[in-house]
Amino acid sequence: MPDAYLAWLQEQQGRVLPKSLTGAAITYCLNQWERLNAYLLDGRLEIDNNRSERAIKPFVIGRTNWLFANTPRGAQASTTIYSLVETAKKNRLHPFYYLTYLLEKLPQLPDLKDQEALDALLPWSSSLPLTCRVFNTTK
């Protein structure tokens, strides 16, 4: 199928004015052929980046607020929290309850270098309490 579409695009390119909307669309498609072909051949790839756009939207909206993180340590703390919140969301956790859980458990760890204990606190850990999990998602 990709070969037939490529042949059709190449045929149409000679039939339309290059500066017309159709001509520009055909030229764009041919210039992006390698990426488009990858999408057509691998069903796991998404046609758009809407998921990524939605993930960064809170950061775009909040960037004015970040002007008030007036120290490097304040900015680093903000990025850490934002990263934890978004990672929790992606792992279908309720960010508030997950952060509460982390803030209760981390100070109680005897050794912060204990990789096994830290792994149990990661957002994808099966040992997280049910209170951290979101069950009524619409996805």
pLDDT in tens, 25-63: 999 999 999 988 888 788 888 888 888 888 888 777 777
- Which of 11-20, 27-36, 50-59, 105-114 has the least mean pLDDT? 50-59
Number of domains forming the structure of the chain: 2
Q: pLDDT tens-digit profile of 69-86?
A: 778 888 888 888 888 998
Are 76 and 121 contained in the same domain? yes
d(CA 70, CA 128): 34
Same domain, 36 and 102: no
Does some domain include residue 138?
A: no
pTM, rounded to two decimals:
0.54
Expressed in angstroms, the distance from the first to the final Cα of the chain is: 31
Q: What phi and psi, each to the nearest 5 degrees, are found at residue 33? A: -55, -40
Tell me if 112 is assigned to some domain: yes
Out of 6-10, 25-29, 63-67, least confident range = 63-67
With a cut of 90, say whether residue 100 has pLDDT above it.
yes
Same-domain check for residues 118 and 54: yes
pLDDT of residue 57: 82
24 lies in the same domain as 90 = no
> Are 71 and 120 in a shared domain?
yes
Q: What is the reported pLDDT for 137? A: 52
**pLDDT reported for residue 138:** 53
The residue among 15, 57, 9 whose CA lies nearest residue 33 is 9
Q: Note whether 34 and 57 are same-domain residues.
A: no
- 57 and 120 belong to one structural domain: yes
Residue 84 belongs to a domain: yes
Rounded to whole angstroms, the Cα distance separating 123 from 93 reads: 7
What is the domain range of residue 122?
A: 50-132
Residues 9 and 67 in one domain: no
pLDDT of 1 strictly over 70: no
